[in-house]
């Protein structure tokens, strides 16, 4: 079975265009909304196309009108874009975000996957980067061949606890130093992928968002730089 694994779309509809290769299932590791200009279109796409979706901290924040607990450089961007997001989503879309599960288990072809947004010990908020020894502790909390996570916006594959932790990176707001959408494909193994998308179209939409000029410029700078400007240290 061919599975596309994506995370952290953040309202960037253009980034979804990179999913052109045929796949049998689409798995989404959270953060459909905030930051980007098209939260409604992204929610509708995921509802129509995804087989499995887990809740991210920004989905939870929009669903329950709560603080997403972002790092200092991103707090104002998150605050203003969350106000925008909640203003353009309908009640049904907001309720959908609120209803998403925190953790999902799937067995595919005798292989067990556990999916969550951040980490098993704190599925919404815990920030565990690549190569962290904390992944060994996290794997003690689950029994799986693969643990699939997002949240850090950086792709990696790491062995831990006799299993593999896989982060596909961010589709809509990558923090790799390149402005390519990141995702993963699982078939015989898991392969990390990245591809160009129409970033200029997304930037043009951000220019028309009803947020402050400073936030618009910061949002565009993060996308252009691949997250290298004003990088936070916790909870994107």
Instruction: Specify the CATH number for the domain of residue 16.
Output: 3.60.21.10
Residue 159 lies in a domain: yes
Residue 230 lies in a domain: no
Question: Within a 10 A sphere around the Cβ of 109, how many other Cβ atoms?
Answer: 6
Q: Which residues of the chain have pLDDT under 70?
A: 229-236
pTM: 0.95
Residue 234 lies in a domain: no
Q: At what angle do helices 75-88 and 39-49 cross, to 10 degrees?
A: 70
The total of structural domains in the chain comes to 1
pLDDT for 4 equals 98
First-to-last C-alpha distance (Å) of the chain: 31
Residue 233 lies in a domain: no
pLDDT for 236 equals 52
Token pair for residue 58? Answer: 């920004």
pLDDT for 21 equals 77
| Residues 85, 55, 143: CA angle, nearest 5 degrees | 165
148-169 b/e with 16+ CB inside 10 Å = b?
bbbbbbbbbbbebbebbbbbbb
Q: What is the domain range of residue 73?
A: 3-225
pLDDT for 234 equals 38
Residue 21 lies in a domain: yes
Residue 61 lies in a domain: yes
Q: How far is CA 207 from CA 117, 181, 201, in A?
A: 29, 20, 10
Residue 84 lies in a domain: yes
Q: How far is 117 from 59, CA to CA, in rounded Å?
A: 10
pLDDT for 190 equals 94
Residue 236 lies in a domain: no
């Amino acid at each position: 079975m061919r599975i596309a694994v994506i995370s952290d779309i953040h309202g960037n509809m253009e980034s979804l265009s990179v999913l052109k290769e045929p796949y049998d299932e689409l798995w989404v590791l959270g953060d459909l909304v905030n930051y980007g200009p098209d939260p409604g279109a992204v929610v509708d796409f995921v509802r129509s196309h995804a087989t499995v979706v887990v809740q991210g901290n920004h989905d939870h924040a929009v669903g329950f009108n709560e603080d997403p607990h972002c790092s200092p450089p991103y707090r104002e961007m998150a605050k203003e874009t969350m106000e925008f997001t909640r203003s353009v989503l309908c009640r049904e879309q907001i309720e959908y975000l609120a209803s998403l599960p925190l953790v999902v288990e799937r067995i595919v072809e005798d292989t067990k996957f556990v999916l969550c947004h951040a980490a098993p010990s704190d599925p919404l908020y815990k920030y565990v980067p690549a190569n962290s020894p904390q992944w060994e502790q996290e794997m003690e909390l689950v029994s799986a061949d693969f643990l699939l996570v997002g949240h850090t916006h950086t792709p990696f594959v790491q062995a831990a606890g006799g299993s593999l932790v896989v982060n596909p990176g961010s589709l809509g707001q990558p923090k790799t130093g390149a402005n390519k959408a990141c995702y993963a494909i699982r078939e015989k193994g898991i392969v990390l992928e990245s591809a160009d998308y129409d970033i200029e179209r997304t930037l043009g939409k951000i220019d028309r968002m009803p947020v402050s000029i400073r936030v618009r410029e910061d949002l565009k700078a993060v996308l252009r730089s691949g997250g290298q400007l004003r990088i936070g240290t916790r909870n994107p």
